[in-house]
């Protein structure tokens, strides 16, 4: 039992949720270590949505709203952490939601689709085919879903698939707390923010934007700038912390 006044209550509860999902087979064990890497970067960014991440979330909303065929790709961690928030984003944008897993089994696909459906998501399911140019199981998707998407939101993606999707001329929006990952570097737009903050951020922006602002945000999209800003936020915080220690005890 985690006491509610524990300073890291939220983070510990999230870990409990993920661990329970791993025991139930919804989450692959590897998903737990991926979350740990995310937590470390969230610490560095101050566990808050930075100004550049908020701009990235607005730009993501603009891209999704302006798309012909937007798709949200959901993996185990995403389903466990933000199933209801994905339902709200789908409602706000009309995007299609499709499950795509690295550690793919028919059983896990079914468990995750059920979890999403219970949360109110209209899941695009049906016969998947090996359509993406990848040697691992993230190659599986549906012809009318991800395969034909023009804009695709890929929270917590691996670099390989992100690169493959970009090569297929899709606009790829990644949510990844690690601004150095191959995913973050290969995506058309990277949101360096924790997924439980990022998805509601995109939904809020989708409800606010008008077509003119969408156009303006898309025209100004500069992912190098967004990644550089995320790294600057992290290094500034690190420098501030090491500076305060070296000043020694207060007089
Ligand atoms: P690549 O360099 O190929 O992109 P990777 O090692 O980053 O590989 P994974 O381990 O699959 O690939 O990546 C998971 C990514 O998701 C990590 O970069 C991690 O920082 C990020 N991540 C994990 N949990 C969260 C979360 N809750 N919110 C946002 N990002 C997260
Ligand atoms: Mg990655």
Q: What mean pLDDT value characterizes the chain?
A: 92
Ligand with an atom nearest the CA of residue 178: 1
Please give the distance, rounded to the nearest whole angstrom, from the Cα atom of residue 160 to the centre of ligand 1: 12
The residue behind tokens 């359509």 is: 131
Q: Which atom of ligand 1 is nearest to the CA of 176?
A: 30
- For residue 244, what pLDDT is reported? 62
Mean pLDDT of 86-95: 98
Ligand with an atom nearest the CA of residue 182: 1
User: Residue 248 falls within a domain, yes or no?
Assistant: no
Neighbouring C-beta atoms of residue 10, cutoff 10 Å: 12
Residue nearest atom 18 in ligand 1 by C-alpha distance: 178
If one residue of 34, 48, 83, 186 were mutated to test the ligand 1 pocket, choosing by the most ligand atoms within 8 A of its CB, it would be: 34
Ranges of H-type helices in the chain: 9-24, 29-45, 51-66, 76-93, 106-118, 159-167, 182-186, 195-208, 211-219, 223-246
Tell me the pLDDT tens digit for each residue of 111-148: 999 999 999 999 998 888 888 888 888 888 888 889 89
DSSP string spanning 184-223? HHHSSEEE-S-HHHHHHHHHHHHHH--HHHHHHHHHT--H
Please give all residues whose beta carbon lies within 6 A of any atom in ligand 1, as ranges: 34-35, 37-38, 41, 77, 81, 156, 158-159, 175-178, 181-183, 194-195
If one residue of 13, 32, 40, 176 were mutated to test the ligand 1 pocket, choosing by the most ligand atoms within 8 A of its CB, it would be: 176
User: Residue 249 falls within a domain, yes or no?
Assistant: no
Domain count, the chain: 1
- For residue 49, what pLDDT is reported? 98
User: Residue 59 falls within a domain, yes or no?
Assistant: yes
User: Residue 156 falls within a domain, yes or no?
Assistant: yes
Q: Which atom of ligand 1 is nearest to the CA of 178?
A: 20
If one residue of 73, 138, 158, 186 were mutated to test the ligand 1 pocket, choosing by the most ligand atoms within 8 A of its CB, it would be: 158
Q: List the beta bridge partners of residue 175.
A: 155, 191
Range of the domain at 127: 51-234
CATH number at residue 204: 3.40.50.12640
Q: Which residue did the predictor score with more confidence, 2 or 77? A: 77
- For residue 251, what pLDDT is reported? 47
User: Residue 218 falls within a domain, yes or no?
Assistant: yes
Please give the distance, rounded to the nearest whole angstrom, from the Cα atom of residue 4 to the centre of ligand 2: 32
For the ranges 1-15, 115-129, 208-222, which has the lowest average pLDDT? 1-15
pTM of the model as a whole: 0.93
For the ranges 1-10, 19-28, 62-71, 179-188, which has the lowest average pLDDT? 1-10
Q: Which token pair is 158?
A: 């691996």
For the ranges 94-103, 182-191, 195-204, which has the lowest average pLDDT? 94-103
Q: What gap in Å lies between CA 47 and CA 39, rounded to an integer?
A: 9
- For residue 136, what pLDDT is reported? 81
- For residue 245, what pLDDT is reported? 56
Mean pLDDT of 97-110: 90
- For residue 143, what pLDDT is reported? 86
**Residues recorded for the chain:** 251
Q: Which residue did the predictor score with more confidence, 158 or 16? A: 16
pLDDT exceeds 80 at position 40: yes
Residue nearest atom 3 in ligand 1 by C-alpha distance: 159
The separation between CA 249 and the C-alpha centre of its own chain, rounded to angstroms, equals 41
Q: Which token pair is 126?
A: 């049906």
User: Residue 146 falls within a domain, yes or no?
Assistant: yes
pLDDT exceeds 50 at position 229: yes
Mean pLDDT of 168-173: 95
Q: Which atom of ligand 1 is nearest to the CA of 184?
A: 4
User: Residue 109 falls within a domain, yes or no?
Assistant: yes
User: Residue 17 falls within a domain, yes or no?
Assistant: no
């Amino acid at each position: 039992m985690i006491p509610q006044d524990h300073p890291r209550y939220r983070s510990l509860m999230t870990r409990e949720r993920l661990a329970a999902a791993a025991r139930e087979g919804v989450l692959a064990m590897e998903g737990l270590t991926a979350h740990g890497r995310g937590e470390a970067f969230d610490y560095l960014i101050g566990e808050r949505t930075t100004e550049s991440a908020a701009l990235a979330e607005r730009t993501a909303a603009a891209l999704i709203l302006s798309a012909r065929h937007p798709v949200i790709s959901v993996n185990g961690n995403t389903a466990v952490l933000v199933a209801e928030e994905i339902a709200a984003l789908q409602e706000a944008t009309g995007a299609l939601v499709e499950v795509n897993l690295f550690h793919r089994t028919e059983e896990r696909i079914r468990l995750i689709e059920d979890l999403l459906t219970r949360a109110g998501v209209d899941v695009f399911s049906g016969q998947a085919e090996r359509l993406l140019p990848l040697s691992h199981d993230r190659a599986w998707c549906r012809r009318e879903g991800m395969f034909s998407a023009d804009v695709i939101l890929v929270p917590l993606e691996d670099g390989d698939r992100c690169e493959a999707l970009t090569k297929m001329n899709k606009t790829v929006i990644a949510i990844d707390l690690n601004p150095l990952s191959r995913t973050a570097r290969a995506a058309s737009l990277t949101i360096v923010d924790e997924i439980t903050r990022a998805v509601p951020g995109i939904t809020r922006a989708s409800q606010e934007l008008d077509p003119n602002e969408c156009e303006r945000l898309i025209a100004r999209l500069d992912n190098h700038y967004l990644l550089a800003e995320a790294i600057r936020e992290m290094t500034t915080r690190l420098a501030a912390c090491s500076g305060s220690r070296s000043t020694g005890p207060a007089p």
